[in-house]
Amino acid sequence: MKVKTISGAVSALLGTLAMAGAAHAGVIAGTGATPSSTQLGGTDAISFKVAEGQAGHALLVPYFTAQNGQMSVLHLVNTDLDNGKVVKVRFRGANNGDSLLSVHVLLSPGDVWTGAVTAGADGLAQLTTTDRSCTLPHLAQGVAQPFSTGRLDPAWTPEVMAANTREGAIEAIVMADVPQAAIYGPNGASQSALSVAIQQVKEVAPCSESVLNAALMQDTSSEAVAASRGLAAPSGQLSATWYVIDVPGSTTFSGAATAIQAINNTGLPARGNYMLFPPTDTAVSQPERYTADPLLVSAGLATRNKDAQGNTAFPTTAAVVLARYNDLPDLSTPVYLPATADSARATAGDLSRLLAVREFKNQYVLDDSISARTDWVVATPTKRYSVAKDYSQSDPSNQRVYSLVPPTGGGEQYFHSLNTQVRDGVCSRGGSWSFRMGSRDGSLTPESVISDAASQPESCGALSVLSFSDTRSAVSSSVARKTLQGTFSNGWAIFRMPDARGIPLIGTAFTKLSNPSATPGVAANYGLTFPHVVKAP
């Protein structure tokens, strides 16, 4: 097991301030030894860590697809047997990390929720569940909820828009706990109405609309009010798995989500800030307190130019996109810091530092005798908080909008004007990226520098699918695909980034094989997934 942490005197100090600081709408530092009807339970988190094979406060799924008849399925598991969870599940598009669909999922202690992404008859991706756990907005069993194109490039044709809903990444964030303990009511001896509403009775949760609305549909800046609704500061303990079923190709790929834990000064999972926002389209005042997203923050808090040291120029004159409660929380929402613009940028910077790598490598298979094909997914979950594409601008030189992540004094920037460029999305500029391949018998290609040509196969948008064949794709990617030319039939490859700080990324190799000798009734197609092997800065 590999564990990466960020800590230090600055994080500890800011974490202490988070516990003592004033509450802000939607983000509240909890107090009290344990949750009660008046207190959320003490926020004692001071930092993040990424731990493989564990549960966490936030979960990252590098890829979903509904292209070419495929179906992507997400399983959320509440491993906490004492508390329910209110979880924000958000699907983001591959091109720019734009929000396609988000939903509050309410899990009772020990509960599991499952949802599937497929393509509808109109070509739009859609989310369907037969699960009986509560959701808000309500997802009726077996009734598909289409993804939205409202945040996508309005210049795209309907067909291109639909295609861009069918590939992307998923994030799940625990916003609050729901204690099961009988600590509510006039005598402090009853379960909360919310706890009762999400608890299954004969495998069906009541999901009382009036109770869910009373607890979740109104924002609050008061700890006492949030606690009285049956909520508590989030303790994490959420895990997830995912799989992609290629229905026409009779192949399945699967994996586990990357878990992000909020930890205390001993490195153990801790309570973070309560950060529950109602799932509505109400506009958010001063959204920069809760997000570093450069398209959502107020005028002047994002810029059109930023160098590697964080020097900025050409500030925005208005928010590019109106921030709404449904946009929150995201991965930059302060978990252990007070809700300020600097804290949101620091949170995005801390998580970026945890995910940053100088190189990533994996295997690939192209053997013609088994019709082998390999795609590498390279996802950058925190890129959206540093840079995003502004669709309202027609000049590519003016389409990048930056946030200062990490904030001033926090070090060099992961994404800036000199290492990004705009093509379909915001891409990492090539030049000194290097790429090398090896065969299974030990042969190696020379290390080559990637050019800045339009076809360069590096990280673009929120994720890229790097395909080792220009004719065969393991996941049938269309909007995120870049082609690599495999020198050997089978082997391995390595990417190296030039910046000493690296680039924050996660990813997996997808390999599909077919057995030409399979007899009728015997499975002929096989899907394999391998997480990338990475080297930290």
**Residue-wise pLDDT tens digits, 241-272:** 999 999 888 899 999 999 999 999 999 999 99
Q: What is the pLDDT of residue 7?
A: 39
Q: What is the mean pLDDT of residues 452-462?
A: 63
Check pLDDT > 60 for residue 428: yes
- Helix/strand/coil (H/E/C) assignment for every residue in 459-481: CECCEEEEECCCCCCCCCCCCCE
Q: What is the pLDDT of residues 195-232, one digit of tens each?
A: 999 999 988 999 999 999 999 999 999 999 999 999 99
CB neighbours (10 Å) of residue 252?
A: 17
Average pLDDT value for residue range 515-520: 74
Q: Which position has the higher pLDDT, 410 or 234?
A: 234
Measured distance CA(265)–CA(142) in Å, rounded: 45
Whole-Å CA distances, 291 to 111, 341, 395, 507, 522:
29, 7, 26, 24, 51
Contact (Cβ atoms closer than 8 angstroms) between residue 290 and residue 339: yes
Helix, strand, coil shares, percent, the chain, to 5: 15, 35, 50
Nearest 5°: the CA angle 76, 81, 86 is 45
pLDDT of 1:
37
Residue written as tokens 């506009």? 283
Q: How far apart (Å, rounded) are the C-alpha atoms in residues 162 and 181?
A: 45
pTM, rounded to two decimals: 0.93
pLDDT tens digits for range 338-393:
999 999 999 999 999 999 999 999 999 999 999 999 999 999 999 999 999 999 99
Ranges 47-61, 91-105, 306-320, 513-527: which has the least confidence:
513-527
Spacing of C-alpha 278 from chain mean position:
19
**Averaged over 483-504, what is the pLDDT?**
85
Count other Cβ atoms within 10 Å, centred on residue 227: 28
Three-state secondary structure call for residue 133: coil
**What is the pLDDT, as a whole number, of residue 487?**
75
Q: What is the pLDDT of residue 326?
A: 97
d(C-alpha 322, C-alpha 282), whole Å:
10
pLDDT at 521 over 70: no
Alpha-carbon gap, residue 380 to 342, rounded angstroms: 21
Average pLDDT over residues 314-330: 97
Tell me how far apart the alpha carbons of residues 413 and 398 are, in angstroms, rounded to a whole number: 19
Comparing 55-64, 77-86, 278-287, 409-418, which segment has the lowest mean pLDDT? 409-418
Q: Name the residue among 531, 425, 449 with its Cα closest to residue 498.
A: 449
The pLDDT of residue 4 is above 50: no
Strands 463-467 and 481-483, sheet pairing: parallel
* Euclidean distance between CA atoms 482 and 478, whole angstroms: 9
291: its two tokens:
């997000």
Q: Would the CA dihedral through 173, 331, 97, 483 be positive or negative?
A: negative
Beta bridge partners of 467: 375, 483
- Specify the higher pLDDT residue, 465 or 52: 465
Residues 6+ apart with CB under 8 A from 280: 217, 324, 325, 326
Band (pLDDT 50/70/90 cuts) for residue 500 is confident
pLDDT confidence of 2, banded at 50, 70, 90?
Answer: very low
| Close Cβ partners of 189 (under 8 Å, ≥ 6 residues apart) | 182, 183
48: nearest Cα among 328, 332, 262: 262
For residue 247, CA distances in Å to 158, 251, 460 come to 25, 7, 28
The rounded distance, in Å, linking the Cα atoms of 386 and 408 is 13
Count of all residues that appear for the chain in the document:
537
Positive/negative CA dihedral, 15, 20, 24, 25? positive
Q: Where are the domains of the chain?
A: 356-535
Most confident of 94-103, 195-204, 443-452: 94-103
Residue 64 or residue 514, greater confidence: 64
Contact present, 289 and 27 (Cβ < 8 Å): yes
Q: What percent of the chain has pLDDT over 70?
A: 92
